[in-house]
Amino acid sequence: MKILEVKNLKVSFNTYAGVNQAVRGVSFHLNEGETLAIVGESGCGKTVTSKSILRILPSPPAVIHEDSEIYLEDRELTNLSDREMIGIRGSEISMIFQDPMTSLNPTMKIGEQIAESIMIHQGKSKRNAIQDVIELLDLVGIPNPEARVKQYPHEFSGGMRQRAMIAIALACNPKILIADEPTTALDVTIQAQIMELIKSLQKKLNTAVILVTHDLGVVAEVADRIQVMYAGEIVETGTCRDIFYKPKHPYTWALLKSVPKLGTENKSELYSLKGTPPDLLDPPKGCAFAARCEYCMNICREKAPGVTDIDGGHQAACWLLHPKAPDIDYRVESYTGGKTC
Amino acid sequence: MLRFIGRRVVIGIVTLLVIVTLTFLLVNMAPGDPVSAKIRQLPDSARETIEKKYGLDKSMFERYIIYMENLVKGDLGDSYIYVGRSVNDVIAKNAPVSGRVVGLAIIFQLIIGLFLGTIAGLFREKIADQVIRVLVVICICIPSFVFAALLQYFVAFKWQLTPIFGWGDPIHYVMPVIAMTIGGLAGYTKYMRNSTIGVVNEDYIVTAKAKGVSKGRLIRKHILRNASIPIITMLGSSLAGLFGGSFILESFFGIPGLGSYYVKAVQDSDYSMIIGMTVFFAAFYIFILIVVDIMYGVADPRIRIAKGRN
Amino acid sequence: MAEKVTIEVEEIDDAFEIIGCEDLDAELISKPSLTYWKDVWRRFRCNKLALIGLIMLVIVVFFTISGPAITGYDYTRMDYEIKDQGPSAEHWFGTDQAGRDIFTRVCVGGRVSIIIGLACTTVMFSIGAVLGGIAGYKGGVVDDIIMRAVEIIVSIPYLVVVIILSITLGRGMFSLILAMTLTSWGGTTRLVRGQVLQIKNQEFVLASRALGGNTKRIIAKHLLPNAMGIIMVSITFSIPMFIFSEATLSFLGIGIQPPQTSWGALAASGRGSLMFYPHQLFFPSLMIVFTMLAFNLIGDGLTDALDPKLRQ
């Protein structure tokens, strides 16, 4: 059952150097209780996309195009007033951010910061809310919650702060949790713990999760569906199996190739995709990936490819899928490590 | 926390000692030995009392010791020119006057400055901000005596809203307080604006927005709370000048405060008065700086708790 | 669901022939890159207020230098016949109590005020740069001593020192400059030390040294300009601060003494006749405000041009 539908999302930023088209027509949906991962390199527009859903982009430079539509169940979000959006943020859709060290108010106690959500959206008094907060801290795995509630953020470690952030986000049991690179700033072992926590909470509360990340390893563990973004567009989308075992877009291939695998021969070079994404102040007329694609064809430079349905929900935007294009036999090296989608 | 305070107090005392010693040395090394020249002008009986009290016939080192002994007892010195008047008397009489005027000005500066600064910061680059910034630049560039002169000329002389000179009634407070407030307003506004801009761009403000915190609450509990902490430092500097920092304006308006008395002492070359008052100003200044450091620690939980652990 | 697009592919020759991407330069960055100072200057230029400040400063300097030559009056020549006149065609700023042309006096006084501002700033920065540099570079005990001294200096109310020194050294330009400089080098020392420490502690400096890279070139090319930028801003704000202090002190009678004159001294002598001949106080005051405004606008412009965070 669909709870979120994004149609033709276009976001641009007015800078002194021109108009930067960060997101250029992105469409996707999210089903109840599922985990959708949005992957791509820095600058591909995944964070801008996620922040646009909640409309927390800084508004003078950022502009969401009129044609864009975002539906939360049956409500259209881009036309809501500020006041209505405020009612949705934190209660129906929540977000957690990348850097736990700077994402919490240093002069407010942790308990109060979590309670704030509850007080605003559920109208409870501070004292009542604090009770809920203690339970929440317990739920996210922070030991000794009664004492921790009165402490300040700088008294928490990085991992614990991220747990507190998760508590804030889930305080009002939202339908959707947007996690923007939640583990990038953490140690590897803590990363695993936090992802475990998100997974278990999601099951418990039946929250749908949009996970924005550039780390494919994390994605394999938790995602139901994956969409790959490049230069402000979605280039491929599908279930976890589709993407890892039957990828169809050259960019997806490049991403998969660059993940170091166990069992690779010693001393073989790590693969890295050459070049950088195109400048979106002046987007290229053809396919945005053409300049870095070893399978680039003449048509790729002239016209942007449309979306091709491959199989069920699996789609990709690439000229190689056109009936007239040559067949590329992309062999999927088995993604060892025993992870299954 | 105690260690923190202790350290500041120790440095404060050392600083004070340095200042006192330097002051003493400098005044006594002035060419022409002005001290004895002044003393010679006094009637004989007074002269003998002073010479005995300060050991003026002794070596400089011994005089220094006597001076320090007196100081520790709380005696800041006697005037060499006006017989029977001591520094302590002058301070007791004139300090409250200064305190009231400057105190009022500080309160207004703080309130208006914080308000304007916050608005400028929140509406950055928009009309309100541009207007406020222009006003701030203009205020910074106009010396206090020019403000005072303008006020005197227009408000008192031309429009006759307040008396030109004098002291005693509330109406006499108007011009000096306005002049002082405008002068110091700019600093608070500028500082608060920069502080607000810094805070508004922090990640935790985005987190708060994503929680659904309303604009009003965001400003009060998240932005202001963090942006006003650095202002405490500025408040400290202002408070340090509570008793003596306003000499220009006091002289200009004829207010019998400590500042104008200090200027008079300098013009009269009343050296012991100058030294005594200097010591008082320096001691008060240092005291306020320590209080400010403590207040900062109380206001910012990061410092308070970290220091507490030590 | 996104629409599928049917495209006319016939018009492109060999539309589906694979050609790869070797010939394209995917790492081309489209905006032309500017050197650090060019970028700063560009941003400064775009700031109208800053440019106005620059123009104002040029005007002031011009008149201070050549004002007396233009009017032809001698700034000391007294003529009681024409005393206390208001502004007119012959005397642009009017005359003072002794019949001297105020415009000429303001120009000459301006030289003193500006020179004091520049002199104090130079001395203050020299002391501050040397001490701050040593403290930052050497660290350890040397750093501790210098910083303790700074803490003490900074706690001393500066007007007090000025007054005391003026007693010892007598009044006049020399003791004024000395007094004002002695109390203000603390701030500069801290500033320079902070910059030196920043440079020292950049991680890539460590990395570069470990890998045998040319650290000096990196520092000279990237870090020094940044540090210098901050110091330049500080200088731009210090000059008016000293002019302001000199004006205040001279106004109180503790600064510049006759026959020398400065804006503050001129204002002081005009103060007595404020009610009757306000122009005698206002014109020197106007010059002070004008000059300070110029420096502040330039300083604000520089700050905005140099600050990466305030970039739009």
The span from the CA of B133 to the CA of C297, in Å, is 11
C277-309 pLDDT per residue, tens: 888 888 888 889 999 999 988 888 888 777 765
> What are phi and psi for residue A6, nearest 5 degrees?
-110, 125
pLDDT of residue B61: 79
Tell me what percent of the residues of chain A surpass a pLDDT of 70.
Answer: 95
Specify the 3-state DSSP secondary structure of C177: helix
Per-residue pLDDT band at B203 (split at 50, 70, 90): very high
Q: How many beta-carbon pairs under 8 angstroms link A with C?
A: 80
What does the pLDDT read at residue C56?
A: 92
Pick the more confident residue, C75 or A99.
A99
Query: What's the Cα-to-Cα distance from A299 to each of A324, C19, C116, rounded to whole Å?
Result: 11, 10, 72
A77 touches A71 (CB < 8 A): yes
Give the position of tokens 């996309």.
Answer: A49
Query: CA-CA distance, B194 to B196, in Å (whole number)?
Result: 5
Chain C residues with CB-CB distance to B under 8 A? 148, 151-152, 155-157, 159-160, 163-168, 170, 240, 244, 247-248, 251-254, 267, 271, 274-275, 278, 281-282, 285, 288-289, 292-293, 296-297, 300, 309
> Which residue, among A62, A50, A58, A67, has the nearest Cα to A4 in the 3D structure?
A50
pLDDT exceeds cutoff 80 at C246 = yes
Please determine, for residue A43, whether its predicted confidence score (pLDDT) is greater than 70: yes
Per-residue pLDDT at C6 exceeds 70 = no
Length of chain B: 310
| Contact state of B11 with C167 under an 8 Å Cβ cutoff | no
Q: What per-residue confidence (pLDDT) applies to A160?
A: 92
Q: How confident is the model at residue C154 (pLDDT cuts 50, 70, 90)?
A: confident
C217: confidence class by pLDDT, cuts 50, 70, 90: low
Q: Which of B10 and A148 is assigned the larger pLDDT?
A: A148
- The H-or-E segment that residue A225 falls in is strand A225-230
A102 touches chain B (CB under 8 A): yes
Positive or negative, the Cα torsion across A44, A49, A50, A51?
positive
pLDDT, averaged across chain A: 88
CA C113 from centroid of its chain's CA atoms: 15
Q: Give me the pLDDT at residue C128, please.
A: 87
Spell out which residues of chain B touch residue C240, defining contact as CB-CB under 8 Å: 141
Contacts of B276 in chain C (CB under 8 A): none
C3 or A124, which is more confident? A124
- Would you state the pLDDT for residue C5? 44
Percent residues over pLDDT 90 in chain A: 53
Is B11 an interface residue toward C (CB < 8 Å)? Answer: yes
Q: How many CB atoms lie within 10 A of CB C224?
A: 13
pLDDT of residue B83: 67
Q: Between C4, C21, C312, which is nearest A292 by CB?
A: C21
Burial of B106 (0-12, 13-18, 19+ CB in 10 A): buried
**Partners of residue C18 in chain A, C-beta under 8 Å:** 295-297, 326
SS3 C213: coil
Q: In terms of Cα–Cα distance, which of B107, B83, B115 is closest to B173?
A: B107
Structure tokens at A40: 């791509």
Neighbours, chain C (3 or more CB pairs < 8 A): A, B
Whether the pLDDT of residue B302 is over 90: the answer is no
Distance from CA of B135 to the nearest CA of A (A): 25
Q: Best of A298, A315, A318, A320 to disrupt the C interface by mutation (most C CBs within 10 Å)?
A: A298
Buried/exposed A189-199: b ≥16 CB within 10 Å, e otherwise? ebbebbbebbe
- What pLDDT is attached to residue A209? 95
Cα–Cα distance, A226 to A150 (Å, whole number): 39
Q: Could you tell me the pLDDT band of residue C24, with boundaries at 50, 70 and 90?
A: low
Q: Tens digits of per-residue pLDDT, B88-114?
A: 888 888 888 888 888 899 999 999 999
Average pLDDT of the residues in B246-265: 82
Structure tokens at B77: 């010195």
Q: Count Cα atoms within 13 angstroms, Cβ side, for B2.
A: 0
Picking from B228, B254, B234, the residue whose alpha carbon sits closest to that of residue B101 is B254
Minimal C-alpha gap between B242 and chain A (Å)? 30
Chain B environment of A91 (Cβ under 8 Å): 212
Q: What is the mean pLDDT of residues C11-24?
A: 68
Whether residue C133 contacts residue C231, with contact meaning beta carbons closer than 8 Å, is answered with: no
Each residue's pLDDT tens digit, A83-131: 999 999 999 999 999 999 999 999 999 999 999 999 999 988 988 899 9
Q: Would you place residue C312 in the very low, low, confident or very high pLDDT band (cuts 50, 70, 90)? A: very low
Phi, psi torsion values for A36, nearest 5 degrees: -110, 125
Residue A248 C-alpha, separation from nearest chain C C-alpha, in angstroms: 16
- DSSP β-bridge partners for residue C159: none
For residues A335 and A222, which has the higher predicted lDDT (pLDDT)? A222
Burial class (CB in 10 A: 0-12, 13-18, 19+), C133: middle
What would the mean pLDDT of A39-64 be, rounded to a whole number? 90
- Per DSSP, the residues of chain B read -HHHHHHHHHHHHHHHHHHHHHHHHHHHTSTT-HHHHHHHTS-HHHHHHHHHHHTTTS-HHHHHHHHHHHHHTT---B-SSSTT-BHHHHHHHHHHHHHHHHHHHHHHHHHHHHHHHHHHHHTTTSHHHHHHHHHHHHHHHS-HHHHHHHHIIIIIIIS-SS-SS--SSGGGGHHHHHHHHHHHHHHHHHHHHHHHHHHHTSHHHHHHHHHT--HHHIIIIIIIHHHTTTHHHHHHHHHHTTTTTTHHHHHHHT--SHHHHHHHHHHHT-HHHHHHHHHHHHHHHHHHHHHHHHHHHHH-HHHHHHHHH-
Q: Residue with structure tokens 């222009």?
A: B134
From B206, B229, B210, B236, select the one nearest B298 (Cα to Cα). B229
Instruction: Show the tokens assigned to A300.
Output: 């790729």
Residue B218 has a pLDDT of 92
The per-residue pLDDT for A334 is 46
Name the residue with higher pLDDT: C52 or B240.
C52
Q: Which two tokens stand for residue C71?
A: 């009017």
CA distance B5 to B88: 28
Q: Which of C60, C145, C166, C252 is the best substitution to test chain B (most B C-beta atoms within 10 A)?
A: C252
Q: Is the pLDDT of residue A55 over 70?
A: yes
Q: What pLDDT score does A15 carry? A: 81
Out of B153, B241, B266, whose CB is closest to C163?
A: B266
- Give A-chain residues touching C308 at CB under 8 angstroms: none
Cβ neighbours of residue A5 closer than 8 Å, sequence gap 6 or more: A28, A29, A30, A69, A70, A71
Over residues C106-152, the pLDDT tens digits come to 888 888 889 999 999 999 988 888 888 888 777 788 888 888 788 77
For C158, residues 6+ apart whose C-beta sits below 8 A from its C-beta are: C180, C183, C184, C245
Residues of C in contact with A298 (CB under 8 A): 12-17, 19
DSSP secondary structure letters along C44-106: HHH-HHHHHHHHHHHHHHHHHHHHHHHH---TT---GGGTT--S-SSSTT-B-TTS-BHHHHH
Region C180-190 average pLDDT: 84
Q: In this predicted structure, what is the pLDDT of residue B310?
A: 35
- pLDDT exceeds cutoff 60 at B32: no
> Regarding predicted confidence, which is higher, B136 or C252?
B136
pLDDT at B270 over 50: yes
DSSP class of residue A239 equals: E
Task: For B221, name the nearest residue in chain A, comparing CA atoms only.
Answer: A108
Q: Please choose, from the candidates B57, B3, B54, the residue with its C-alpha nearest in 3D space to the C-alpha of residue B24.
A: B54
> What pLDDT was estimated at residue A336?
40
Q: Could you tell me the pLDDT band of residue C244, with boundaries at 50, 70 and 90?
A: confident
The model carries a pTM of: 0.81
Is residue B188 within 8 A of residue B121, CB to CB? The reply is no
Q: Give the SS3 label for residue A57.
A: coil
Contacts of C222 (CB under 8 A, 6+ apart): C36
How much is the pLDDT for B39? 65
Average pLDDT over residues C52-69: 89
Q: How confident is the model at residue B244 (pLDDT cuts 50, 70, 90)?
A: low
Which of the residue ranges A156-165, B29-38, B132-141 would you say has the lowest mean pLDDT? B29-38
> Lowest mean pLDDT: which of B228-237, C30-39, C258-267?
C30-39
Q: Name every chain C residue with its beta carbon within 8 A of the beta carbon of B281.
A: 157, 160
In this predicted structure, the answer to whether residue B9 has a pLDDT above a threshold of 60 is yes
Query: Is the pLDDT higher at C214 or at C58?
Result: C58
